[in-house]
Amino acid sequence: MENNISKNIYMGFLSLLFGFFLWLYVLSSAQTKGTSVFEIRYELPPNVAIVSNPVREIKFKINGPRVFIRNLTMKKNTHVVNLKNYFTRDKLDYTLDINDLGIKFPFGVEILEFEPSVINISLEASSVKQIPINLVTSGNIAVDHKLIYSELKPSFISISGPKSVLNQIEKIDSTTINLNELKGSGEKVIKFAPFDPRVELSEDSFSYSYFVKPTRSNMVLKDIPIRFLSSHMVIGSNRRKVNLMVLADNEEKLDFSKEELSVIAQIPLKAKKKMKIPLKAKLPQGMHVLEIIPSEIEVELDLGEKNE
């Protein structure tokens, strides 16, 4: 009895497994169509370069089992064309038939059509040249800031390619950076702008170091004495010193003596015995008051018998 139960369970498991693989087979065998793109890379003989703008990709319309088609259409396909197999020293122009490139597809996949049908290649003697890097910028350094220092590393790169093409190139542009985003000091890794595909670069990026400094500086000046301007005698005040928050056009303006500035409490002629007086500050040229802390004080005055 137990043997029959075990046998039935085993057979049921086999049936389930067989059905699963059958389902996979049916799914993978279903015919479908798609487009597979192959990126073409060229392997060159020594001391020559491609001067034409050759085919960089080939598109194949294919038909076959769904699982193969899905794989071929979704992944990145690459094929290397070895021009050493075609090159002879007395010939610089070549026409390659796509059928002769050796691009292969899995068994069961049918090629319906492809584009282009041929690749035309023109070769030329190669050369090497050093050119400066041109930093391309947008915007401006933030208001009240100044770019103190900047450096490109490296400032030159080597390029290689067809001699006639290199003769026309004097510099290489970077991708654009926004100067308004630069604050303090730092270093950015910057890529190059899209370049002629016939030319190879010795570097794919460079570093940009910078130091941006504020041209206006903030500072808090503490314990500045209050000067009382009054025709009455001040017999009391809730404070005799205040703090100043100031803004200078540049840091050098902050190099001064406290005798060069003053905080004034000007008491009106028609004053009360006790009253609040707003404060004012006088500063050297090139400095500006942001805040007086506190902005007013309480005073007690001797008004004399006449005003009482």
Computed over every residue of the chain, the mean pLDDT equals 85
pLDDT of residue 70: 87
CA distances for 47 relative to 76, 96, 109, 123, 199, angstroms: 30, 21, 39, 10, 14
The per-residue pLDDT for 26 is 47
What's residue 262's pLDDT?
A: 86
Give the pLDDT confidence score for residue 98 in this predicted structure: 92
* pLDDT at residue 8 is higher than 90: no
- Looking at 3.30.9.10, 2.40.37.10, 1.10.390.10, 2.170.120.30, the CATH number of the domain 217-307 comes to 2.170.120.30
Residue appearing with tokens 């790169």: 157
Distance CA 200, CA 193 (A): 13
Q: Give residue 40's pLDDT.
A: 93
pLDDT the model gives residue 1 = 54
Please choose, from the candidates 124, 109, 52, 125, the residue with its C-alpha nearest in 3D space to the C-alpha of residue 77.
109
Pick the more confident residue, 210 or 17.
Answer: 210
Q: What are 96's two structure tokens?
A: 């390659």
Other beta carbons within 10 angstroms of residue 266's beta carbon come to 12
- More reliable by pLDDT, 8 or 167: 167
On whether the 26-125 domain is CATH 2.170.120.30, my answer is yes
pLDDT, average across residues 57-73: 89
**Residue 53 pLDDT greater than 60, yes or no:** yes
pTM higher than the cut 0.85: no
Specify the CATH superfamily of domain 126-214.
Answer: YbbR-like domain (2.170.120.40)
Question: What's residue 10's pLDDT?
Answer: 59
**Helix 66-74 and helix 2-29: axis angle, to 10°?**
60
Q: What percent of the chain has pLDDT over 90?
A: 41
All CATH 2.170.120.30 domain ranges in the chain, comma separated: 26-125, 217-307
What does the pLDDT read at residue 203?
Answer: 92
Give yes or no for residue 304 having a pLDDT over 50. yes
